[in-house]
A and B are shown apart, each in its own frame.
Chain A
Amino acid sequence: MEDKRIRVLLIEDDPGDADLLREALSDQKNPSFEIEHVGTVRAGLEYLSKKESDVIVSDLTVPDSQGLETFLKVHAQAPTLPIVILSGFDDGGSLALEAVRRGAQDYLVKGQVDGRFISRILRYAIERKRVEKELAHLASFAELNPNPIIEADGNGKVTYLNPVARARFSDLDELGLKHPLLADLKWVIGKLQEGNQKSFVREVAIGEQVYEQHLSYLPGKDVIRSYLLDITERKRVDQLKDDFVSTVSHELRTPLSIVKQGLSLLLDKIPGSLGEKQEKILTIAKDNIDRLARIINSLLDVSKIESGRVGLRRERLDIAHLIQQVAETFQVKMAEKTLELKVEVPQEGCGVYADADKITQVFTNLVGNAMKFTQEGYIKISAAEKGNEVECTVADTGIGISKENLPKVFDRFQQFGRTAGGGEKGTGLGLAIAKGLVELHYGTIRFQSTLGKGTQFIFTLPKYTVENVLKVLVKDGIKEMQERDSKMSLILLTFSQGQTSWQGLFPEGLPGFIEWTQGILKNGLCRQGDVVIQAPNGLAMLLAGCDKKDAQGVRMRLEEAFKEYRAKGNLSPSVTFRFGCATYPEDAKDDEGLIQVANREEGGVHAPKDSHH
């Protein structure tokens, strides 16, 4: 094995001490030591400027320099080299310790003759310097990052700021948890600890700037690290783009409409008869005007979905019936292409909570897409209940999607597998719109594809159940409150008996009961836009813009009204009920949490005991 050599630069004016060190290290092997001895700092620095060393051993008292100054001069000249101080007995080692604090790796006391010991000190000094350099390098990733980085604990105490963050957010320490960037850190920690989520992203507005904050929890240090991206410009451009799209589409529609009407007048031969060729030309013109209209509509749809300007009109929707209707509209085109259209839906129907127009659009886009890429075989539309959701599938026996295109399927303006020739031309926006619309319904969309065999698009919608409707409305509410930076309260009324018979509770049944409750709310503190709906075993009241205090007031009012109602003998004495109340964002930040808190929190009337008062 080859002997490793460590090159030592020894700065020492006393030749005796130098010899002692050389002697002590002389029989060390692997590593062995090669010692270059100089008597002054100047000679040492001159040597370093010409030759390389692995470690410097330096006395602090030499003819051209005294004390700590000696170390500082050498260190300044050779900041990347490890330095071990050679300390005399006279200063008791305190100067040497000070040097270590200022960046020296270690010190040796003069007269030490144990070669193995000295060897270890020198090797460790070299290793420590290497680690120190590595750490400094790692720290530079954060220090030089042009984006702000913040670390803070759950109480809002800031533990790290990189220079950009320090310059931009000078009020972090002062505001603590009240600073928008540190708001709700406790909640975030809880969220990241419980789930399998590694990080959490939110948008935070600070003055004119908008940041995307990526939060992750570091369990070892019990802090949250935030990486911030300034997305102000992106937001502004998005807004410009949306405004632009909506203005342009408006300006294009009027002339487009006039051209279309002119062409269809001619084609319907109202001004006079047409030759065969003329009719063909006009038909082509009209088809392409329709295509242009589709592109404009799709562009606008995408822009509206992306900017969150699509309102949904959700209702109980029989997805089986809707699929039948969609299938009918495609019947003729499918027959023309000699494709079979299969429909597989539960006979008894299948209720989802969704907007009929929007879901029709999703199916139309998916089936239209499938048709474009299927030359023979069939297209199958199906729906089936799966747990809490309904799964809808559009499957085809078409050309499939090639591997390199798989990640781009839902991107805008992506058109692949495009075939030359006739047929309805696409806009490259259909699948992006379908995805956007499904996600607005809190559903998911995915696909499976085998090249040459076919493709399946599968999307889910919430099943129409009392639980799901409540969840969706709470989710919608939270989304809106986030945008408006406002509060919202949820009051849950739960009957102990369950909802087996609304007539038993209220003579006009559930609708009458909801109306009666709405009446009480109107007389109370609440405003328009509040929602009263059926909840599992009772009613749910969603009060937008209503804080905790107001909500408690409303709850008390409701309790009183119910007591009165009972006192009049309208409620069977065996029926008991209770009210629970939860407010966004104090009590919970998501639908499940809010419903859980409102369900848990007890309060108010525990009939029948107090029903006689």
Chain B
Amino acid sequence: MPQKILIIDDEPDQVLLVEMRLQADGFQVISAPDGEIGLGMVHKERPDVVLLDLLMPKIDGMEVCRRLKQAPQTKHIPVILFTASGAKDIEDLRVISGADACLRKPYETEELLSMIHTLTRT
């Protein structure tokens, strides 16, 4: 069974390209255009990893991450949080959000892939 990855991002171009990349690497990819739908999909689809954009309308990535990590059913699912902001220190962001890893855009594809592999190994 291929591992399932959920992308929660309001930028369709971004979603499309990440999807292509991950599918080529053998992952099953699903996506949600905002935090609210994303939270619903996590509960329904039980993905192996969640890729989450920080800045989104309605419920932002920080809040989505907080809710995922608080709920006993979802807190074990690894979350990678993406930010385009350079203002915040990336390590601070990881600590504050509770995400398993954080990446600043633009990032190297290899970096994302190795992160996913590390987080799904166990």
Given known contacts A261-B109, A289-B106, A293-B106, A300 and B20 CB-to-CB distance under 8 angstroms: no
CB distance from B86 to the nearest CB of A (A): 4
Count, A-B residue pairs, CB within 8 A: 61
Provide the residues of chain B in CB contact with A257, threshold 8 Å.
14, 84, 105-107
Given known contacts A246-B87, A253-B84, A254-B11, A260 and B106 CB-to-CB distance under 8 angstroms: yes
CB distance from A115 to the nearest CB of B (A): 85
Q: Are B106 and A246 in touch, CB under 8 angstroms?
A: no
Q: Are B20 and A253 in touch, CB under 8 angstroms?
A: no
Q: Is A28 in the interface zone, CB < 8 Å from B?
A: no
| B104-122 interface code vs A (CB 8 A; 1 in, 0 out) | 1111110000000000000
Task: Report the bound CA distance from A258 to B105 in whole Å.
Answer: 9
Given known contacts A253-B106, A256-B106, A293-B106, A246 and B14 CB-to-CB distance under 8 angstroms: no
Provide the residues of chain A in CB contact with B21, threshold 8 Å.
261, 265, 270
Q: Is B85 in the interface zone, CB < 8 Å from A?
A: yes
| B62-93 interface code vs A (CB 8 A; 1 in, 0 out) | 00000000000000000000001111010110
Provide the residues of chain B in CB contact with A254, threshold 8 Å.
11, 14, 84, 105
Provide the residues of chain B in CB contact with A311, threshold 8 Å.
89, 92
Q: Is B18 in the interface zone, CB < 8 Å from A?
A: yes
| B20-55 interface code vs A (CB 8 A; 1 in, 0 out) | 110010000000000000000000000000000000
| A297-320 interface code vs B (CB 8 A; 1 in, 0 out) | 100100010000101010000000
Task: Report the bound CA distance from A297 to B106 in whole Å.
Answer: 10
Provide the residues of chain B in CB contact with A249, threshold 8 Å.
86
Q: Is B17 in the interface zone, CB < 8 Å from A?
A: yes
CB nearest to B21 among chain A residues: A265
Provide the residues of chain B in CB contact with A251, threshold 8 Å.
84
Task: Report the bound CA distance from A313 to B106 in whole Å.
Answer: 24
Provide the residues of chain B in CB contact with A304, threshold 8 Å.
86-87
Task: Report the bound CA distance from A304 to B89 in whole Å.
Answer: 11
Provide the residues of chain B in CB contact with A264, threshold 8 Å.
108-109
Contact of B18 among A256, A261, A296, A313 (CB under 8 A): A261
Provide the residues of chain B in CB contact with A313, threshold 8 Å.
91
Task: Report the bound CA distance from A293 to B13 in whole Å.
Answer: 19
Task: Report the bound CA distance from A296 to B104 in whole Å.
Answer: 12
Contact of B86 among A253, A265, A289 (CB under 8 A): A253
Task: Report the bound CA distance from A253 to B82 in whole Å.
Answer: 11
Provide the residues of chain A in CB contact with B92, threshold 8 Å.
311
Contact of B87 among A256, A289, A300 (CB under 8 A): A300
Task: Report the bound CA distance from A304 to B86 in whole Å.
Answer: 9
Provide the residues of chain B in CB contact with A407, threshold 8 Å.
none
Given known contacts A257-B105, A262-B17, A296 and B86 CB-to-CB distance under 8 angstroms: yes
CB distance from A465 to the nearest CB of B (A): 26
CB nearest to A301 among chain B residues: B86
Q: Are A270 and B91 in touch, CB under 8 angstroms?
A: no
Q: Are A258 and B84 in touch, CB under 8 angstroms?
A: no
Q: Is A271 in the interface zone, CB < 8 Å from B?
A: yes
Q: Are A270 and B13 in touch, CB under 8 angstroms?
A: no
Task: Report the bound CA distance from A297 to B11 in whole Å.
Answer: 22
Provide the residues of chain B in CB contact with A270, threshold 8 Å.
20-21, 24
Provide the residues of chain B in CB contact with A600, threshold 8 Å.
none
CB nearest to A311 among chain B residues: B89
Q: Which residue, A261, A262, A300, A309, has most C-beta atoms of chain B within 10 A?
A: A261
Provide the residues of chain A in CB contact with B106, threshold 8 Å.
253, 256-257, 260-261, 289, 293
| A240-257 interface code vs B (CB 8 A; 1 in, 0 out) | 000000100111011011
Given known contacts A270-B20, A270-B21, A289-B106, A258 and B14 CB-to-CB distance under 8 angstroms: yes
Provide the residues of chain A in CB contact with B105, threshold 8 Å.
253-254, 256-257
A154-179 at interface with B (beta carbon < 8 Å): none
The 5 closest A-B pairs by CB, nearest first: A257-B105, A257-B106, A253-B84, A300-B86, A261-B17
Chain A positions within 8 Å of B, measured between CB atoms, are 246, 249-251, 253-254, 256-258, 260-262, 264-265, 268, 270-271, 289, 293, 296-297, 300, 304, 309, 311, 313
Chain B positions within 8 Å of A, measured between CB atoms, are 11, 13-14, 17-18, 20-21, 24, 84-87, 89, 91-92, 104-109
Can you list 8 residue pairs at the A/B interface with Cβ under 8 Å? A246-B86, A250-B86, A253-B86, A258-B11, A258-B13, A261-B17, A271-B20, A297-B86
Q: For the A-B complex with A253-B85, A311-B92 known, give 15 more contacts whose Cβ atoms are closer than 8 Å.
A: A246-B86, A250-B87, A253-B86, A253-B105, A254-B14, A254-B84, A258-B14, A264-B108, A265-B20, A270-B24, A293-B106, A296-B86, A300-B86, A300-B87, A311-B89
